[in-house]
Chains A and B, each alone.
Chain A
Amino acid sequence: MSEQVLLRVEGLSKSFGSVPAARSVDLAVHRGEALGIIGPNGAGKSTLFGLIAGDVRPDAGRIVFDGRDITRDPPHRRCRAGIARSWQIPRPFVHLSVYENVLVGAYFGAGLRGREAERAALAALADTGMDRLADRPAGSLTILQRKRLELARALATRPRLLLLDEIAGGLTEAECVELVELIRGLHAQGLTVVWVEHVVHALLAVVQRLVVLDFGELIAEGEPAPVMADPRVQEVYLGIHLE
């Protein structure tokens, strides 16, 4: 059983002042699965990602990745261990080219050198359809291109767990379809994906399991259809239609 679990989060809590962002969250992510996380604004979704990626220090609880306790590891060590993330608001290195942005991940995340790193960076650009923009300064990209760059950089670190933070937000319907195809393809190649998303229909096109957060608490978990039909979830999501 435990070999099937890639990431385990136990009793994870975090408060900002008196506002709880995570309240004793327990969660297991299985190898090769695609897990979706939904919840209203301020439910603690991004905080949970921060806790897993290491930007946010937990007040209590434990994070185990691949059988190793990483609760006290800094972000760069977690990335090197195989956890990659995309930021909700893209954070490109604006003075570097697209290619250099991705090269950072290949060099320091995947620990590659020389030609090998260059090839990995180019492969990540090709996988995300960014190869034609390789020479462009990252500061000049459009929002969709920035989101793709987030994904390309994450892939260049050769992750085993990919954390996607609202990567479909702000995209047109056609762009969204493209992105879903891309993520579905990565998942099909064996990558474990955890995806936080407000655009629920995009999420449901990919994930096999759904977790719902509300006020830092995990209120529902399971297969997408029953979870979305759960009265508590419907209450939380009043006004958001399930397609």
Chain B
Amino acid sequence: MSAGARTTAATAAPARSPLRLSVPLTVLAFLVLTLLPLWTERRVLNDLFGVLTLFALAQYWNLLAGYAGLVSIGQHAYVGIGAYVLFAAGIFLGLDPLTGILLAGIAAAALSVPAGLFIFRLGGAYFAVATWVAAEIFRLLAARITPLGGGAGTSLPPSVMELLPGVVEIRHLFGVPTGAARDIVLYWTALALAAFALWMSWALLRSRPGLALAAVRDDERAAAGLGVDVRAVKFLVHVFAAFGAGATGALIFLDIGRISPAAAFSVLDWTAYVIFVVVLGGFGRLEGPLLGAVLFFVLEKAFADYGSWYLMALGLLGVLVMLFAPHGLWGWLERRFALEWFATRRVPPASAVPPYDSRSSTQREGRSP
């Protein structure tokens, strides 16, 4: 038995985890991105704003679909809710936009609870359809809010934008006009939200509930048979993903400066592209959305001028990736080179290896029923 184990161990080594390198490199990348406004022009920051917010949305959808097996096609519901809550908080309550973003996340999470109680009754394809139906309901409700312009929507009053913290300080510090200073604050907020999405997902996956989530990803029935409350784990992820989509949606529409039900609850912009990014980068992999968002951005920059041909090529690329690399480009890299950038693997404590027969029957019987 042990001889056989040793020979197979040699052929299939555990995934390499360059943790010692990947954490400092990730922190370094974060620092470079933080200091970027010092030397780059506004256009680059605006582009990166798009990449960062898309990445955040993709990371939350990946947690939902890639890990919890909840293939939602209605995440635009929470993007829209977030956007509307931000505008309402600014216009009616006079709250500054950053507080508004936090409030938007909390509101989206709160509304995801009753929505979840409804859609969690359904399984498989019905679940996916129900998420879309729920998003439609939220869109129609948003169109009924006449103080926010009803079906036509409304613009964010300049008075709310003026409440954005840090703008005055940055204007003085960098010596730039107000508009550019605002873009820097929005860019930093996007960077913070993206870092939060990545760091929280990583911390979650390394935690105790994260192990349950990873087990659910691989085999739901086996997880349930080992004591994992699969429904509770899924609900937790559903609420967390709604929080993330809500906060990110609020930031996106703070930047746009105008909401309407059609734009804020757009299935194409906030769900379809997001799914494409995850499929392209890597489904059920922490690294996937990051790679996917960057690739998508590069593709768009290079080929968007080709119009509908570009969109058809995107669709074809999506199909090809699904056929030949079902776990996305990162999944393929991971298999090919045994790579792991964000290691979540738990290693047994070397000091705690017990002697062979340490477990007694009293230990086993000692548990309360």
A178 / chain B contacts, CB cutoff of 8 Å? 1
Known: A118-B348, A126-B356, A158-B367. A190 touches B226 (CB 8 A): no
B179 contacts A by Cβ under 8 Å: no
CA distance A18 to B349 in the complex (A): 52
Question: Which chain B residue shows the least CB distance to A131?
Answer: B353
A122 contacts B by Cβ under 8 Å: yes
Number of interface residues of A (CB under 8 A): 68
Query: Once the chains bind, are A122 and B225 in contact (CB under 8 Å)?
Result: no
Q: Which of A111-169 contact B (CB under 8 A)?
A: 111, 113, 115, 118-119, 121-124, 126-127, 129, 131-137, 140-142, 144-145, 153-154, 156-160
Query: Once the chains bind, are B12 and A136 in contact (CB under 8 Å)?
Result: yes
Query: Once the chains bind, are A93 and B365 in contact (CB under 8 Å)?
Result: no
Known: A104-B223, A122-B353. A99 touches B364 (CB 8 A): no
Query: Once the chains bind, are B364 and A190 in contact (CB under 8 Å)?
Result: yes
CA distance A111 to B226 in the complex (A): 10
Query: Once the chains bind, are A160 and B365 in contact (CB under 8 Å)?
Result: yes
CA distance A54 to B359 in the complex (A): 27
Query: Once the chains bind, are B346 and A103 in contact (CB under 8 Å)?
Result: yes
Most buried by B among A55, A107, A111, A141: A107
A21 contacts B by Cβ under 8 Å: no
CA distance A122 to B227 in the complex (A): 18
Known: A110-B227, A131-B353, A136-B9. A103 touches B211 (CB 8 A): yes
Query: Once the chains bind, are B14 and A135 in contact (CB under 8 Å)?
Result: yes
B223 / chain A contacts, CB cutoff of 8 Å? 93, 104
Query: Once the chains bind, are B15 and A137 in contact (CB under 8 Å)?
Result: yes
Query: Once the chains bind, are B225 and A79 in contact (CB under 8 Å)?
Result: yes
Question: What string of 1s and 0s marks CB contacts (under 8 Å) between B218-231 and chain A?
Answer: 11011111111110
CA distance A136 to B13 in the complex (A): 7
Q: Which of A89-111 contact B (CB under 8 A)?
A: 91-97, 99-101, 103-105, 107-111
CA distance A189 to B223 in the complex (A): 26
B258 contacts A by Cβ under 8 Å: no
Contact of A105 among B6, B227, B361, B365 (CB under 8 A): B227
Known: A104-B226, A157-B227, A190-B361. A145 touches B212 (CB 8 A): no
Contact of A74 among B215, B224, B359 (CB under 8 A): B224
A80 contacts B by Cβ under 8 Å: yes
B144 contacts A by Cβ under 8 Å: no
Query: Once the chains bind, are A108 and B352 in contact (CB under 8 Å)?
Result: no
Number of interface residues of B (CB under 8 A): 48
CA distance A101 to B217 in the complex (A): 13
Contact of B348 among A76, A122, A160 (CB under 8 A): A122
B329 contacts A by Cβ under 8 Å: no
Query: Once the chains bind, are A108 and B226 in contact (CB under 8 Å)?
Result: yes
CA distance A57 to B51 in the complex (A): 47
B8 / chain A contacts, CB cutoff of 8 Å? 140-142, 145
B214 / chain A contacts, CB cutoff of 8 Å? 93, 95-96, 100
B358 contacts A by Cβ under 8 Å: yes
Q: Which of B48-67 contact A (CB under 8 A)?
A: none
Question: Which chain B residue shows the least CB distance to A133?
Answer: B5
A11 contacts B by Cβ under 8 Å: no
B121 contacts A by Cβ under 8 Å: no
B308 contacts A by Cβ under 8 Å: no
CA distance A111 to B368 in the complex (A): 11
Query: Once the chains bind, are A82 and B225 in contact (CB under 8 Å)?
Result: no
Q: Which of B278-306 contact A (CB under 8 A)?
A: 284
A38 contacts B by Cβ under 8 Å: no
20 contacts between A and B (CB under 8 A): A53-B225, A80-B227, A87-B225, A92-B218, A92-B219, A92-B222, A96-B218, A104-B211, A104-B227, A105-B226, A107-B212, A107-B227, A108-B229, A115-B349, A122-B354, A132-B2, A132-B6, A135-B348, A140-B8, A157-B227
Report which A residues bind B (CB closer than 8 A): 53-55, 66, 68, 74-76, 79-82, 84-85, 87, 91-97, 99-101, 103-105, 107-111, 113, 115, 118-119, 121-124, 126-127, 129, 131-137, 140-142, 144-145, 153-154, 156-160, 175, 178, 189-191
Please name the 3 residue pairs, one residue from A and one from B, whose CB atoms are nearest each other, closest first: A109-B227, A190-B361, A108-B227
Q: A95-B217, A99-B348 are known; give 14 further A-B pairs, CB within 8 A.
A: A55-B225, A75-B225, A76-B228, A84-B226, A93-B214, A103-B346, A104-B227, A129-B1, A133-B5, A136-B14, A137-B15, A140-B8, A144-B4, A158-B367
